[in-house]
Amino acid sequence: MDLSAFEGLGAVVGVSNRGNRELAATGATVDTPFRIASLTKTLTAAATVRALWDNGFELTTPVAAILPELETELTVEQVLAQSSGLKQTADAVTVAALGEGDEVFLAAAKLVIAGGQEYPPGDRWSYYNGNYFLAGALLERLTGRTFEDGLQELISAAGLSSTAFTSGDYPRARRPSGGLWSTAPDLLGFCEFLLQDKGLLAAISTPRVWTPLAYGLGWAVGPGGMLYLNGRLPGYRAAMLLSPADEWAAAMVVDDTDALPAIAEYLDGLQRPLTGVPMAGLIDGFAA
């Protein structure tokens, strides 16, 4: 795989085709960890679904059935699908002020719910990290452990050896929405894990909302059921593509916030011969 378009940057790309992997890197090694930003949501969503099922709950379970402290009629499905319709009031500064203690996830969830509704629940998709602040509190309560320990159950089950939270300037309550570091091989490993768990894959890949885009649980859903998304934090861009029908996945991480157009074109070029579906515009246009 030719990475000359990313010369001068640190970039790693990986492809898994029915479990057969190919990786390439420039300005980094294939095992270099990068911030994966909003790709974290895919792991938070998958872990929350598994924890729901482990406790005998369905995706249509009301949030308040799990977190009775919260006065809301939202369902877990609406939260993970970002179709909650919540007003975007719990911003990064507000959440950072909550501190770093174990109580921050529930405190952040309360702030999110207190913001009220902008749209009717389930009416439309709207990108809001607050949905995943709330998901962090749900996962914590469902597992009876801290959010990080609850997510680690999924990370371990998927065999991801280089995916973790690190100390630093990223507020703890924001971790469920975008706090992980990972590597291209681990991101491929997560996709392969989903492909093997047909029940979990069906849950996360089924569109739950269609306006203004089709979105499952943590992933946008494109033509032919292709799953895609990207994430950004200062100095980092990451993107993933997953084609369940073809058992094919790709992941790319780059140490440049502005690299998304090039990443989108590159990943599109990798998958287009297989699917025939143009994906560059969708990847580049996804709100992250």
Concatenating the DSSP letter of every residue in 201-225 gives HHHHHS-SB-SSS-B-SSSEE-GGG
CA 267, distance to chain mean position in Å, is: 18
* pLDDT for the residue numbered 166: 86
For residues 172 and 155, give the distance between their C-alpha atoms in angstroms, rounded to a whole number: 18
Residue 118: predicted pLDDT: 97
User: For 4-285, which CATH class?
Assistant: alpha beta
DSSP letters for 106-120: HHHHHHHHHT-BSS-
The predicted structure's pLDDT at residue 126: 97
- Say what the pLDDT of residue 287 is: 77
Ranges in the chain, pLDDT < 70 = none
pLDDT at 150: 98
Q: Is the pTM of this model over 0.85?
A: yes
Answer positive or negative: Cα dihedral of 200, 201, 202, 207.
positive
Residue 155 confidence (pLDDT):
98
As given in the structure block, the two tokens for residue 134 are: 């709330």
